[in-house]
Amino acid sequence: MRVPSRSPGQQPGSPVSPTAPARRRPSGTAPRRLSATEPDLAAYRAAVAELLVEVGALADAASTRARQVLIDERLREPALAAVLDATPQGLIGARETLLLEMARYHPNERTSARDLTALVRIYLLSRIDVLWWQDAPTFVTDDQVNGSADLVDLEWLRRRDLLRFRYQEQPATMLGRAARGLRRRLRPDATPQTAGLLFRRARREVVALLNDLAREFAAAAPPNTPPLWVTSLVRSAEHQYRLRRLGYAAMLPSGHCLGYSVDVELTWFERFGAREALAELLLARQETGDINVIDEGQAWHLCLAPTARRRLRRAYEAEMGV
């Protein structure tokens, strides 16, 4: 099958072991740093959006070979190659991983990748997170997340009224899960339909970012709109693999496993007429360079940019009085 011609479309730290071979770094050498001229992320996002139009045109099972040819050709184009080649896997590793993710893809009710186009979008845009934080240490195990001095306890902050956003934890017992299920049956729209946080911990800079976003959202949303709702924060690589086994589109490496990525609820806010206000706010923050944004359907994935880290750390310290 012939690959369709290009459509203009709508222009809109340390990695975990990848699902495809990464380029080997000689023993004893330092991690590769970005060049003085960083890749053009606006051009990268535009190229991804253009690629997605073509992937969507090859969505049927008979187009598997054509999709592979398309990916081979497009990822080598300068706007895409510049970002992918600057990640630890490099262009070839990223290409192999994406093709493997596509080959393994099976739609299910859990995954945010509702189709192959969504899978490609999530994977390619998440490479910006990896580019930014390729030298950051990964939280490999659950114990590392729970014991890290780099993370703060959200519940401690919440009880002191220092959080402007909301979240809920995953029930830890069968009784708790039963109670959660009963509440959802009685009041199905009272809270977002999410599992909740496994770890109620976050980096200080991320807390400051979310508080800032929550204040902006409260000012922009219609009256009586609930506060910003966070559905996922830091995860261990151990937990990321668990999510993959359950069918979620949990990419590796991931900004979640570095502590710099979060997911925020979007769909639930439609019932308050506030979804578009939140989406516009997040995309505006991306334009300023503070965050990377990935539309994952019900929730949107955000990753803090390294250039905003110091400013947000100072904001956290000022707000918390530390």
Tell me the three state secondary structure of residue 99.
helix
Confidence of residue 59 (pLDDT cuts 50, 70, 90): confident
In a domain, 252, yes or no: yes
Beta bridge partners of 263: 232, 301
In a domain, 120, yes or no: yes
DSSP string, 119-153: HHHHHHHHHHHHHHTTTSPP--SHHHHHH-TTEEE
Taking the C-alpha atoms of residue 19 and residue 98, their distance in angstroms, rounded to an integer, is 9
Is the domain of 263 the same as that of 198? yes
Q: Which domain holds residue 99?
A: 41-129
Is the domain of 185 the same as that of 116? no
Has residue 189 got a pLDDT over 90?
no
Is the domain of 303 the same as that of 198? yes
Percent of the chain with pLDDT over 90: 70
Is the domain of 229 the same as that of 288? yes
In a domain, 18, yes or no: no
Has residue 208 got a pLDDT over 70?
yes
The residues, any chain, with a CB within 8 Å of residue 244's CB and separated by 6 or more, are 250, 252
In a domain, 202, yes or no: yes
Per-residue confidence (pLDDT) for residue 304, from 0 to 100: 98
Count of domains observed in the chain: 2
In a domain, 33, yes or no: no
Confidence of residue 171 (pLDDT cuts 50, 70, 90): low
How confident is the prediction for the chain on average, in pLDDT?
86
Is the domain of 71 the same as that of 170? no
Tens digits of residue pLDDT in 234-293:
999 999 999 999 988 899 889 999 999 999 999 999 999 999 999 999 999 999 999 999
Per-residue confidence (pLDDT) for residue 62, from 0 to 100: 75
Taking the C-alpha atoms of residue 268 and residue 270, their distance in angstroms, rounded to an integer, is 5
For tokens 């979640």, the residue is 256
Q: Considering 82, 98, 129, which residue would you say is the last residue of a domain?
A: 129
Taking the C-alpha atoms of residue 236 and residue 151, their distance in angstroms, rounded to an integer, is 13
Q: Considering 129, 160, 191, which residue would you say is the last residue of a domain?
A: 129
74: part of which helix (H) or strand (E)? helix 64-74
Per-residue confidence (pLDDT) for residue 112, from 0 to 100: 86
Q: Considering 68, 101, 129, which residue would you say is the last residue of a domain?
A: 129
Is the domain of 149 the same as that of 197? yes
Confidence of residue 218 (pLDDT cuts 50, 70, 90): very high
Q: pTM for this structure? A: 0.84
Whether residue 12 is preceded by a cis peptide bond, meaning omega within 30 degrees of 0, is no
Give me the sign of the Cα torsion angle 78, 84, 90, 95. Answer: negative
Tens digits of residue pLDDT in 111-139:
888 899 999 999 999 999 999 999 999 99
The answer to whether 4 and 54 have CB atoms below 8 angstroms apart is yes
Is the domain of 156 the same as that of 273? yes
Confidence of residue 37 (pLDDT cuts 50, 70, 90): confident
- The pairing of strands 230-232 and 261-265 is antiparallel
Per-residue confidence (pLDDT) for residue 19, from 0 to 100: 39
In a domain, 135, yes or no: no
Is the domain of 195 the same as that of 313? yes
Question: What backbone torsions phi and psi does residue 261 show, to the nearest 5 degrees?
Answer: -115, 150
Confidence of residue 185 (pLDDT cuts 50, 70, 90): low
Torsion on CA atoms 156, 157, 163, 168, rounded to nearest 10: -10
Is the domain of 92 the same as that of 188? no
The answer to whether 240 and 141 have CB atoms below 8 angstroms apart is no
Is the domain of 89 the same as that of 150? no
Is the domain of 125 the same as that of 147? no
In a domain, 32, yes or no: no
The answer to whether 50 and 6 have CB atoms below 8 angstroms apart is yes
The answer to whether 272 and 222 have CB atoms below 8 angstroms apart is yes
Is the domain of 67 the same as that of 151? no
Bigger pLDDT: 62 vs 160: 160
In a domain, 3, yes or no: no
